[in-house]
Amino acid sequence: MPVIAVTHPLVRHKIGLLREAAISNKQFRELTHELACLLTCEATADLPMQAATIACWSGPVQIEQLAGRKITVMPILRAGLGMLEGVLGLIPTAQVSVIGLARNHATLQPECYCEKLVDHLDERIALIIDPMLATAGSMIAAIDVLKAQGCTDVRALVLVAAPEGIAALEAAHPDVRCWAAAIDSRLDEVGYIIPGLGDAGDKIFGTV
Ligand code: URA
């Protein structure tokens, strides 16, 4: 089941607030940040742990620490940037790989116009962030790029997913899990998610 609907009450409450047509850019940005934090908790719930002994005030004590692979966060430009600080707030040591994708009007396929990846992707867990999983074209292309670099544990965090995007993602990358704050009804004729949020990038950056 690659797309996982996150049903935590805080997530359900905040995604509802985000749908308000009259929402300000400030509110939209803040809620996007908070939802990114909550999705990060869900998407990292299975990270491996290891035991360590530290000097506690009362003497040696055994604690648990995160073990294993490092993490890269990959925002898809531009709207994915709105989720970046939320993820980094919880995983401050993660390194950031950036990708920008635009649709080629002749082929209708996403083409990469910006790609700045961190090294050793074959040793990392990748968390791709993009608020809207609509057709999933950009998400699939971003995963293609990571896998081409040897990344074997790719996860995605989105605010809203459309059934059409979920089907496309599952067909292209059945091994990739995607955590969504909401799964909506459908895409409209120009590719917006219904009911959706409108243009998430515009609302985050204030370009409306
Ligand atoms: N991108 C958006 O910002 N909103 C949608 O509904 C679909 C894609």
Domains (range + CATH), the chain: 3-43+70-205 (3.40.50.2020)
- Is 198 annotated in a binding site? The answer is yes
User: Closest Cα to residue 156, out of 38, 98, 75?
Assistant: 75
Read off the pLDDT band of 1 (50, 70, 90): low
User: Closest Cα to residue 78, out of 96, 64, 99?
Assistant: 99
User: Closest Cα to residue 17, out of 182, 180, 188, 157?
Assistant: 182
pTM above 0.80, yes or no: yes
- Is 200 annotated in a binding site? The answer is yes
DSSP type of residue 80: T
Of ligand 1's listed atoms, the one at least distance from the Cα of 192 is 6
DSSP type of residue 152: -
Give the ipTM of the model, two decimals please. Answer: 0.96
Q: 74-92 pLDDT, tens per residue? A: 999 999 999 999 999 999 9
Q: 169-204 pLDDT, tens per residue? A: 999 999 999 999 999 999 999 999 999 999 999 999
Strand residue runs (E) in the chain: 3-5, 49-56, 59-66, 70-77, 95-96, 98-103, 110-116, 124-129, 132-133, 153-161, 177-183, 186-187, 193-194
- Is 69 annotated in a binding site? The answer is no
The average confidence (pLDDT) of the chain is: 96
User: Closest Cα to residue 85, out of 37, 132, 139?
Assistant: 37
Does the C-beta of 199 come closer than 6 Å to ligand 1?
yes
